[in-house]
């Protein structure tokens, strides 16, 4: 095996483990953060500060009775959560976690694969994610599940358009679809948020909707639909659905950081590295840490929003998507094009 | 004509653009929630930290011993009669020779049980007791996994001779004054023997 292959296998396993680990601790963080915002203490019994809580939750999920409804389509019922989990994990393949590391004279990129259509790939995978919810909701043979699945799919379709349009404006500015190049450009210039503030806002709102997070979590609206698409699920299949939501959150945080907030770069990184005499490898490691710091901040922001805003009504959700975000995204493209034209940046 | 001056005219109007964007309202709400990050939490982390009980708090019962360490209870059954929840049962037994240091009087309770699931912690047993044997304390009844464990026998109710349970807070000044009455001499410790010998004549 070539060293490149070995390195990418190691990276694959590491990214997989880190995604799962972060998702696990996001559940803990969510409970803790919610508790703090509500003047409570939150989980504090399992281990110091309740840090073993995700482990306890995992054990609980595995020990629960596994129920598959009699009238359900058994295979699709099992496939649903697997598919949802799979698609949410697949996105992290194209995310650049840091710049290069050099070991024994060979330079490795801290990215599993750098495909030149990275953004398109992400869109493809994310829009496939809805199949997990749709299949699960439909196969449950339960009207609440079906309603949840329907809501989820129409919500995804509505918000994907605005999300795509907000990305088009970004692609116009950067001129590339590769996430690695977008990150590298932000090393040389300013972070994209400076050029695309409105685009970022639209992208973020859509990311909330795509990740099925509050205030857009109508697909699992407890007050109306019991659990929505996962009403009939129990044990670890339910766990997979809930867990995948956190992985989605992690991945969309990573995306937002990469696309708009400089990715793994941090201000004056080369000056600081020169001043302290850091080697390139060490700088890369610090960059990875900075990137994860940004992701953590975004995840906290997701939680902060969840514990502030009430859930949207369904018609409000639709009118926000179609009547506000879509026109805004179109206007954003237009303004971006206009500004680029007058600055002579059109290629 | 308006009945009060507090009435408001409500109009149905289209939301303005900023309201339809929700952003200003969202921003306001997020500031409110994040401000709670810096607030003191009122939670008392119970088993490690315990709140101070009110002096009149009625918690787990204790069967008192007298100063010499003998059980005060004579199994008269008044507490069981007084109990509105019928939580108390007992069985009496006669004191044998040589057990004088264990039991204060000739009769004692060989079995004394309080069902903590039935008990309503009203304190009537304490009021009914002529021997100052039973008191409610500021201890919280520990929880358990089975119902059977919640029937407390003498092993849990009688205070250990070397680890007395303080009930002075249950004995208000009025109670202590009341005890000065001659009728209650029998409840005094037998260290001041005079009144008891007087009664024997």
Q: Report strand pairing: B107-115 vs B151-152.
A: antiparallel
In the Cβ-directed half-sphere of A281, how many Cα atoms lie within 13 Å? 8
User: B41 and A39 in contact by Cβ < 8 A?
Assistant: yes
Q: Which of residues 33-72 of B touch A (CB under 8 A)?
A: 33-34, 36-37, 39, 41-43, 45
Find the largest Cα–Cα distance for chain B.
100
Give the closest of B22, B34, B43 to A304, CB-based: B34
Distance between A36 CA and the closest CA of chain B, angstroms: 6
Distance between A250 CA and the closest CA of chain B, angstroms: 21
Query: Which residues of chain A make contact with B26, given a CB cutoff of 8 A?
Result: 305, 308-309
Local confidence pLDDT in tens for the 347 residues of chain A: 787 788 888 888 888 888 888 888 888 989 888 888 888 888 888 888 888 888 888 898 888 888 888 888 888 888 888 888 888 888 888 888 877 777 777 777 777 777 888 888 888 888 888 888 888 888 888 888 888 888 888 888 888 888 889 888 888 888 888 888 888 888 777 778 888 888 888 898 888 888 888 788 887 777 788 878 888 888 888 888 888 888 888 888 988 888 888 878 887 777 777 777 777 778 888 888 888 999 999 999 988 988 888 888 888 888 888 888 899 899 999 998 888 888 876 65
User: A305 and B30 in contact by Cβ < 8 A?
Assistant: yes
Q: Report strand pairing: B88-94 vs B61-63.
A: unpaired
- From the centroid of its chain, how far is CA A133? 16
Q: Which of residues 252-281 of A touch B (CB under 8 A)?
A: none
Structure tokens at B25: 């309202």
Query: Which residues of chain A make contact with B37, given a CB cutoff of 8 A?
Result: 36-37
User: A39 and B42 in contact by Cβ < 8 A?
Assistant: yes
Q: Touching check for A324 and chain B: CB below 8 Å?
A: yes
Distance between A44 CA and the closest CA of chain B, angstroms: 10
pTM for this model (two decimals): 0.77
Q: Touching check for A314 and chain B: CB below 8 Å?
A: no
Distance between A323 CA and the closest CA of chain B, angstroms: 10
DSSP string, A265-321: --TTHHHHHHHHT--HHHHHHHHHHHHHHHHHHHHHHHHHHHTTSPPPPHHHHHHII
Percent of chain B exceeding pLDDT 90 equals 18
Structure tokens at B124: 């009537």
Name the 3-class secondary structure at A99. strand
Distance between B24 CA and the closest CA of chain A, angstroms: 13
ipTM above 0.85, yes or no: no
Structure tokens at B138: 């500021």
């Amino acid at each position: 095996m070539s060293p490149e292959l070995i390195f990418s296998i190691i990276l694959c396993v590491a990214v997989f483990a880190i995604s799962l680990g972060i998702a696990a601790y996001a559940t803990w963080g969510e409970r803790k953060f919610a508790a703090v915002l509500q003047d409570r203490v939150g989980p504090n019994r399992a281990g110091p500060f309740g840090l073993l809580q995700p482990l306890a939750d995992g054990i609980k999920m595995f020990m629960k009775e596994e129920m598959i409804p009699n009238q359900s389509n058994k295979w699709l019922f099992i496939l649903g959560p697997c598919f949802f989990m799979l698609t949410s994990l697949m996105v992290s393949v194209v995310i650049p976690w840091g710049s290069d590391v050099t070991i024994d004279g060979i330079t490795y990129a801290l990215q599993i694969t750098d495909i030149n259509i990275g953004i398109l790939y992400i869109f493809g995978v994310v829009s496939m994610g809805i199949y997990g919810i749709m299949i699960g909701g439909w196969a449950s043979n339960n009207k609440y599940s079906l309603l949840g699945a329907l809501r989820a799919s129409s919500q995804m379709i509505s918000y994907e358009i605005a999300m795509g349009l907000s990305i088009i404006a970004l692609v116009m500015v950067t001129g590339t679809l590769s996430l690695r190049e977008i990150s590298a450009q932000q090393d040389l210039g300013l972070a994209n948020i400076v050029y695309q503030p409105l685009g970022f806002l639209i992208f973020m709102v859509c990311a909330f909707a795509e990740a099925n997070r509050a205030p857009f979590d109508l697909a699992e609206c407890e007050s109306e639909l019991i659990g929505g698409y996962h009403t009939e699920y129990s044990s670890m299949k339910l766990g997979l659905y809930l867990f995948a939501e956190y992985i989605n959150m992690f991945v969309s945080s990573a995306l937002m950081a990469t696309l708009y907030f400089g990715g793994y770069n941090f201000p004056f990184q080369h000056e600081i590295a020169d001043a302290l005499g850091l080697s390139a490898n060490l700088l890369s490691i610090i960059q990875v840490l900075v990137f994860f710091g940004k992701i953590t901040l975004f995840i906290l922001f997701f939680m902060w929003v969840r514990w502030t805003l009430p859930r949207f009504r369904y018609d409000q959700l639709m009118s926000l998507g179609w009547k506000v975000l879509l026109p805004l995204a179109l206007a954003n493209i237009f303004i971006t094009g206009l500004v680029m034209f007058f600055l002579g940046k059109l290629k | 004509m308006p009945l009060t001056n507090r009435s408001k005219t409500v109009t149905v109007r289209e939301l303005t653009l900023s309201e339809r964007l929700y952003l200003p309202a969202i921003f306001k709400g997020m500031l409110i929630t994040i401000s709670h990050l810096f607030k003191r939490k009122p939670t008392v982390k119970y088993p490690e930290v315990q709140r101070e009980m009110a002096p009149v708090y009625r918690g787990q019962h204790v069967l008192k011993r007298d100063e010499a360490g003998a059980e005060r209870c004579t199994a008269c059954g008044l507490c069981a009669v007084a109990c509105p929840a019928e939580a108390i049962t007992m069985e009496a037994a006669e004191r044998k020779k040589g057990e004088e240091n264990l039991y204060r009087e000739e009769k004692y309770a060989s079995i004394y049980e309080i069902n903590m699931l039935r008990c309503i912690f009203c304190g009537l047993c304490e009021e009914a007791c002529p021997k100052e044997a039973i008191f409610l304390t500021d201890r919280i009844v520990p929880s358990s996994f089975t119902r059977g464990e919640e029937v407390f026998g003498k092993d849990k109710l009688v205070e250990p001779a070397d680890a007395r349970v303080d009930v002075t807070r249950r004995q208000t000044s009025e109670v202590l004054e009341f005890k000065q009455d001659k009728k209650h001499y029998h409840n005094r410790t037998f260290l001041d023997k005079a009144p008891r010998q007087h009664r024997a004549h």
